[in-house]
A = this chain, B = another copy of it.
Amino acid sequence: MMEQILDVAELLFSKHGFHGVTLKDVAKQVGVHHTLLNYYFDDKQTLFDAVFARRAVVTIDRRMQALDDYERAAAGKPTVEGALHAFLDTDLDLYIQGGEGWKNYGAFGAQASNSPEGAEFMDKYFDPVVLRLIDILKKALPDAAEEDIFWGYHFVTGALMLTLARTGRIDKLSHGLCLSDDYEAVKHRMARFMAAGFREICEQRKQDRG
């Protein structure tokens, strides 16, 4: 039952955010009395956190593992694209293979990261992985200015977050050519797209200097 509650909460929070969902909404969709949620979870915030925590550890561990593996495999010569592939694809694979639940979690996370509190809370979890990524990026771009790498990273997360947030929505613009839950398509493009961006702004800096 607890799992079902988390599943529904995950879905609803991902669509409407923390304040846009009531415990009754969740309970109703689960088909259970709303006070049962207070039985399993102290309060609304606890439920929200539980939704996050349930899967956060998994993503983080996998990503960290993937980055470690990549760096080892690269044997001292990592590339931006390689690092980004490790960072992004590992996550995207989860959403591709993990079924409905993981897709909702992706959207949930993206939504949560939008509020100041949510972002701060999540950063606590994710910062180590991000720093690990940035560490590898620095090795791949030894001449790069630190700001450039950080800005590049911001662009990457932005793109990823938007993709995750829009899961399941139709892209009217492209007349359905791009489905926002077509993570295969994203996986196929994103790392390479972003790697080129990183290279470019480092190049730009050299030009600015010289």
Q: Tell me the A residues contacting B by CB distance below 8 Å.
A: 15-20, 110-111, 114-116, 119, 123, 127, 130-131, 134, 146-148, 150-163, 165-166, 169, 171-174, 177-178, 180, 185-186, 189-190, 192-201, 204
Contact = CB atoms under 8 A, between A and B. Distances in A.
Contact of A196 (B16, B127, B146, B196): B196
Interface of A is mostly: helix
Given A157-B162, A160-B158, A197-B196, A150 B169 contact: no
A185 to B, nearest CB: 7
Q: Nearest 5 pairs between A and B by C-beta?
A: A158-B162, A196-B200, A193-B197, A19-B19, A158-B159
Nearest to A172: B123
12 contacts: A17-B19, A19-B19, A114-B165, A116-B169, A151-B193, A154-B171, A154-B178, A155-B190, A155-B194, A161-B161, A189-B201, A193-B200
Nearest to A153: B173
Copies of chain A in the complex: 2
B189 A17 contact: no
A116 B185 contact: no
Given A148-B189, A163-B154, A197-B196, A173 B131 contact: yes
A92 to B, nearest CB: 13
A177 to B, nearest CB: 5
A200 B200 CA distance: 11
A204 B204 CA distance: 22
Contacts of A160: 158
